[in-house]
């Protein structure tokens, strides 16, 4: 694989600590869900990254399919839970809204994007991802 870009982040203190990009461009306090402490959690950060990545991959897939949506919006819900073996796993719902296409073309676009997006490729076979598509 030809690498186009790499970044690095460092966390200290786990889910109740702090995480930062090593280049200094972003740093966040972390907080456990429901703790009342101000801060984000890793699932929120993953959801933000996945949503941005998928929404950016939609025009790439649209070009491949020769489709011209007038706009897109992607939302990602990330859950975490305990699996039977005792470890933990993520659970994802991917909501894709496509403007300017009918329902069939919007679904086709989202399905092809799901094969193009790096986050989708990273989660494929590892995380249960449900794709919800809406034509607007």
Query: Taking the chain, what is the end-to-end CA distance rounded to the nearest angstrom?
Result: 36
Give the domains, in start order, of the chain with CATH numbers: 1-40 (2.20.25.10), 42-135 (3.30.300.20)
109 SS3 class: helix
CB atoms within 10 A of CB 22: 9
Determine what percent of the chain is predicted with pLDDT higher than 70.
100
pLDDT in tens, 112-135: 999 999 999 999 999 999 999 999
């Amino acid at each position: 694989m030809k690498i186009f870009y790499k970044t690095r982040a460092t966390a200290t203190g786990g889910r109740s600590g702090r995480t930062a990009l090593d280049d200094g461009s972003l740093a966040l306090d972390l907080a456990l869900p429901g703790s009342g402490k101000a801060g984000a959690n890793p699932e929120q950060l993953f959801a933000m990254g996945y949503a941005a990545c998928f929404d950016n991959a939609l025009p790439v897939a649209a070009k491949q399919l020769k489709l011209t949506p007038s706009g897109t919006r992607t939302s990602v819900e990330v859950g975490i839970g305990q699996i039977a073996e005792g470890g933990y796993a993520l659970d994802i719902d991917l909501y894709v809204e496509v403007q300017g296409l009918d329902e069939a073309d919007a679904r086709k676009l989202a399905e092809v994007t799901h094969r193009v997006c790096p986050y989708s490729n990273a989660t494929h076979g590892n995380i249960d991802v449900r794709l919800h598509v809406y034509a607007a």
